Amino acid sequence: MRYVWRHLPLTDVHPHAQLAAEAAEAAAAQGAFWEMHDALLNHQDELRPGDLIGYAADLGLDTGRFARDLRTHAYAARVAEDVDTADLATVSGTPTFFVNGQRHHGPYDIDSLSQAVRTARAMAAITG
């Protein structure tokens, strides 16, 4: 089992989503992707550059480096790669789950996802 995060900034819904995705990658470069991820999700209505730099400071990141990465869009290409893979997989929203490369259609609760994993495991054993 692995959980993979892909960026899909929906700027028509969240105008600051692109910069927030870049901020997550800038934090990742300093070893704090998930911590920034949590901060961004907890503050979805506060994603302006000053807010993002404040979260970086709260996480103990090098804010000069972080601000420079945001200003120069150092991780825009990384985010664009994720958007491209989402487009190829016809993903148009988040969250979207795949189990053994197959898109999961249905609820995203733990019981439903666990059952999907068990089913995929059984199918792999049969066809393996």
How far apart, in whole angstroms, are the C-alpha atoms of residue 48 and residue 6?
21
Closest by CA to 43, choosing from 66, 23, 29, 61, is 23
Closest by CA to 54, choosing from 42, 107, 101, is 42
> pLDDT digit of tens for each residue in the chain (128 aa)?
677 789 999 999 899 999 999 999 999 999 999 999 999 999 999 999 999 999 999 999 999 999 999 999 999 999 999 999 999 988 888 888 989 888 898 898 999 999 999 999 999 899 86
Considering the entire predicted model, what is its pTM? 0.83
How far apart, in whole angstroms, are the C-alpha atoms of residue 104 and residue 122?
16
